[in-house]
């Protein structure tokens, strides 16, 4: 896996290019301060530090977003207020203006160039005609959601952080006149939704475990009942994963749930020695919320170290699991472990989705589902965590699947990227189908003995018990986009792509489902049959979750085309650049 040091990257300008020719400029920023061998920042050159917020045009829209609006987001036809559109993470829109009869008339209404050329994994947010976008390196911009005119930008002076898997950022969340951002350098910040100005910044030194540089955030935060809820990335470092809640008004710490079980907790006997203290369990994506039952539900990442598990013997609860905690206290409700004693980097990284389904007795029950790296959809009872059903595989399964790696490299399918990776799926209550992206990649895995981590040891080092190498010589990577019947676990239909599928899915009440491909195609399918109805090539990998919204009665569909992190080796010889910076807004042409 690639390791990133934020101090190695400079600041890029943020601009927007429209069909009308209007251009906005947000300026450039200097690189963060260099770091010492122990991860301590050298003194910054105060004279070179530029402002983090730039305002170009006033925002006069109503962007306050109350708790009641978020709770009622499902019936809101105009906005996209939460990362998953609604607290259940369904990514289902009730809009029907774009439908099978006119989807072939979708044309770009505006093209935005963010100025940040890197993988674009953000889910855009729309509030009253204002489009909020977060790029890699936590640049946040506000645009007119119809014309693409840039209104303001926030370009943070990020501190040093040991990043596991790139500088990706997956979105912001609005509320109470603020935008909440979870940053790569371990800070959570609140911005003024009208100006982009910094309102508060969390106390990283007091809140995060030490050493703080091992902890970063890539997920889009959740906002519920006055709490900003975030989970850490980076289980390739010796970290103890967590989900924590901060006060939305002040940024003060409220509670934390640790994703490795201590000896006095349920599942605490599933860790040997002190391995639970640095056992991983990242939380990569936005949690779902069940307001009726007061639950927060999320998926957890791999146990650490990857590949070699001799000094973390046991199942390693609560890693590679679907977890439910109580929203008020952060206390454990239940967990369901998809992969016990994970040795393959089979972390559960895609968001948990909530819906009702039938159990084995034919009774309708509240459910939670997660598309795993192992290539199956896991559907559990939302109140108990009991497995209802596991779907048929939506990717290829190789002969070494779930066999422990040895010191001799061997091919594994699914590889360590999945199955399903971080990409948010969609669920349509109209079709009863769950739409998920899939990856067919062979990786050569090998294990090597490593010593237990000594807490507080320096210098910081990656904690990996072997190697994971993509095999391009003997196997051509490809992808799937699958519709899974949640009542049976069977694959209803499947689209096969020439390259792995990243990004995300969007379903609508007009029985369309949208997704993007690594070759630059943005696709619309018949949600019931899987027939490809429309395709538009944006010239760069479409690995951004699409959204839809309405402004003044007109439905728009927006998606990013910034290339795909993880595609470096596959795209090296394609003759095209790996990364871009495009966000496209589509509407039906008259």
Residues annotated catalytic, as ranges:
345
Q: Who's near 264: CB < 8 A, 6+ residues apart?
A: none
Strand locations in 420-546, DSSP E?
426-428, 433-440, 443-447, 466-470, 478-485, 491-497, 505-508, 512-516, 521-526, 532-537
Contact 331, 325 (CB under 8 A): yes
Euclidean distance between CA atoms 17 and 23, whole angstroms: 5
Please report the beta strands in 79-187, taking only residues with DSSP state E, as ranges in sequence order. 92-93, 106-113, 125-127, 130-134, 140-144, 150-154, 162-163, 173-175, 178-182
Q: Which tokens is 109 given?
A: 């209404």
Could you tell me the CA-to-CA distances from 395 to 415, 419, 478, 520 in Å, in that order?
11, 6, 10, 21
Tally Cβ neighbours within 10 Å of residue 539: 12
Does residue 211 have a cis peptide bond before it, meaning omega lies within 30 degrees of 0?
A: yes
- Please tell me the distance from the alpha carbon of residue 347 to that of residue 354, in angstroms, as a whole number: 19
Structure tokens at 195: 């100006």
Listed residue (274, 285, 278, 237) closest to 259, CA to CA:
278
Nearest CA to 179 among 219, 228, 252?
228
Cis amide linkage into residue 419, ω under 30° from 0: yes
| Alpha carbons 356 and 559: distance in angstroms, whole number | 28
Alpha-carbon distance of 233 to 169, in angstroms, equals: 11
Query: DSSP letter at 276?
Result: G
Structure tokens at 566: 């993880």
The whole-angstrom separation of Cα 564 and Cα 576 is 13
The DSSP bridge partners found for residue 201 are 189
């Amino acid at each position: 896996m690639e390791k990133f040091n934020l101090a190695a990257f400079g600041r890029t300008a943020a601009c927007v290019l429209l069909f009308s020719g209007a251009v906005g400029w947000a300026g450039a920023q200097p690189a963060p301060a260099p770091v010492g061998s122990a991860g301590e920042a050298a003194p910054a050159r105060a004279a070179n530090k530029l402002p983090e917020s730039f305002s170009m045009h006033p925002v006069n829209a109503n962007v306050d977003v109350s708790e009641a609006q978020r709770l009622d987001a499902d019936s809101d036809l105009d906005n996209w207020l939460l990362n998953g559109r609604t607290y259940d993470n369904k990514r289902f829109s009730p809009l029907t203006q774009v439908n099978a009869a006119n989807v072939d008339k979708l044309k770009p209404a505006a093209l935005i160039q963010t100025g940040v050329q890197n993988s674009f994994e953000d889910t855009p947010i729309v509030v009253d005609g204002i489009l909020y976008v977060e790029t890699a390196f936590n640049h946040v911009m506000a645009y007119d959601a119809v014309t693409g005119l840039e209104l303001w930008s926030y370009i943070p002076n990020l501190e040093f952080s040991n990043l596991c898997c790139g500088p990706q950022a997956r979105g912001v969340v609005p509320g109470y006149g603020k935008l909440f951002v979870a940053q790569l350098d371990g800070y959570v910040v609140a911005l003024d939704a009208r100006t982009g100005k910094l309102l508060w910044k969390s106390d990283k030194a007091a809140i995060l475990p030490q050493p703080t540089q091992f902890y970063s955030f890539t997920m889009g935060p959740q906002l519920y009942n006055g709490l900003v809820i975030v989970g850490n990335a980076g289980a390739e470092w010796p970290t103890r994963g967590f989900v924590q809640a901060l006060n939305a008004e002040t940024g003060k710490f409220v509670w934390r749930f640790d994703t490795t079980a201590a000896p006095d907790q349920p599942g605490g006997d599933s860790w040997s020695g002190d391995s639970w203290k640095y056992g991983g369990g990242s939380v990569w994506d936005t949690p779902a919320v069940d307001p009726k039952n007061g639950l927060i539900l999320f998926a957890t990442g791999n146990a650490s170290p990857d590949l070699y598990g001799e000094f973390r013997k046991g199942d390693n609860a609560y890693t590679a699991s679907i977890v439910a905690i109580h929203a008020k206290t952060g206390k454990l409700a239940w967990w369901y472990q998809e992969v016990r004693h994970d040795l393959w980097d089979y972390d559960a990284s895609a968001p948990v989705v909530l819906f009702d389904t039938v159990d084995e007795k034919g009774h309708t029950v509240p459910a939670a589902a997660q598309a795993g790296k192992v290539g199956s959809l896991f559907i559990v009872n939302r109140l108990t965590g009991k497995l209802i059903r596991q779907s048929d595989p939506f990717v290829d399964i190789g002969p070494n699947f779930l066999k422990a790696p040895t010191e001799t490299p061997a091919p594994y399918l699914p590889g360590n990227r999945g199955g399903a990776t971080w990409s948010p799926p969609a669920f349509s209550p109209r079709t009863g189908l769950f739409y998920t992206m899939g990856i067919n990649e062979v990786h050569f895995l090998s294990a090597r003995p490593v010593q237990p981590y000594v807490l507080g040891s320096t210098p910081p080092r990656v904690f990996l018990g072997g190697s994971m190498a993509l095999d391009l010589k003997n196997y051509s990577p490809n992808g799937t986009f699958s519709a899974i019947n949640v009542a049976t676990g069977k694959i209803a239909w499947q689209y096969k792509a020439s390259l792995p599928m990243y990004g995300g899915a969007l379903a609508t009440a007009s029985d369309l489902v949208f997704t993007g491909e690594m070759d630059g195609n943005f696709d619309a399918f018949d949600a019931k049959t899987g027939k490809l109805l429309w395709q538009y090539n944006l010239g760069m990998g479409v690995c951004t979750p699409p959204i839809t919204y309405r402004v003044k009665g007109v439905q728009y569909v927006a998606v990013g085309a910034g290339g795909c992190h993880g595609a470096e080796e596959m795209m090296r010889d394609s003759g095209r650049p790996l990364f871009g910076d495009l966000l496209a807004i589509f509407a039906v042409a008259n």
